[in-house]
Amino acid sequence: MKVLIGQNHLDTIGGSETYVYTVIEELKRRKIKTFLLCGSDRYGIMSKKIYQNFNIVPNTYDKDLDICFINHTTTVAKALKNKIDESKIYQICHGTTPSLEQPFGSPIEKYISISEEVQEHLKNKNYESLVIRNGINTNKFTPTKSNKELKNILSLSQSDRFNTFLKKICDKNGWNFKSHNKFTNPVFDIQDTISESDLVVSLGRGAYESMSCGKNVLVADWRPYQKPMMDGLITPDNIEEIITTNCSGRKYRKEVNEENITQEIRKYSTTLGEYNREYALKNLNIINQIDKMLELK
């Protein structure tokens, strides 16, 4: 089998870039011949990692491909320009707002949504899609011991304002606080930082990775493109709902204030971390997600 993976840019460490790496990693583990298409000329940290670890050079691929999984409208356009058979292409849509994440349209007829929220967005545009969630390498993001009583909180937020706000809450309650912004300090092996925490504040893929590490996860942020909002601490009672919006804060849209944040953090329990790990193994494991994708061939 020959599989092509597509991504607009490979010069930063973001959700879709890490997703692409994880997909390639699993395909190569299965000894499947894998190629990579880049929709732009933005190469860097991720393209270097993919070349170093898998010996894959972007935009070098065989013509007789079996199936293509492509992120972003720009990459779909490049695939079509390069005469890749449109009947082999599945566009994967990761969001509802960014222009790159919109369905390309004719002649592309096959789509994958990473959440029910995205699926509904595509349906409103008259495009049917299959939900296949972002996959995590659960053998890389593995559990480490958490304190019985909450001590260490990590924020993966990209918002300095939100991190300053969280630090004040942590200082007030005697919790150690650490933040990591992937845009100001990109780190590929973020699992090492997650492993040092008891509770992680994040959205989307960062939430999934932290769940896989067996950590408590608070879904909250203060992104520039949306009001500060949160879904709260992930629990067995709410995960099936908040995952429908990719753990984005948009399911419950709870107000972000000191009282609400503190109340959610105080729900901390090591049993929640254990539950998160089991949920990730069953529902977010990249092995299962790749099985679903390859069944589409």
What string of DSSP letters covers 128-171?
--EE-PPPB-TTTS------SS--EEEE--S-HHHHHHHHHHHH
Other residues' Cβ atoms within 10 Å of the Cβ of residue 201: 29
How far is Cα 219 from Cα 199, in angstroms, rounded to an integer? 11
pLDDT at 201: 98
Contacts of 89 (CB under 8 A, 6+ apart): 68, 70, 76, 79, 108, 110
Domain range summary for the chain, segments of one domain joined by +: 2-132, 152-283
pLDDT at 225: 67
Task: Rounding to the nearest 10 degrees, give the CA dihedral for residues 8, 13, 15, 16.
Answer: 20
The pTM assigned to this predicted structure is: 0.95
Three-state DSSP at 214 gives coil
Please state which CATH class domain 2-132 belongs to. alpha beta
Contacts of 44 (CB under 8 A, 6+ apart): 10, 11, 12
Which amino acid is residue 55, in one-letter code? N
pLDDT less than 50: residues of the chain: none
Question: Which CATH number is 152-283 given?
Answer: 3.40.50
Q: Which residue has the tokens 């948009």?
A: 250
Three-state DSSP at 106 gives coil
pLDDT at 181: 86
Same fold: 2-132 with 152-283: yes
pLDDT at 227: 78
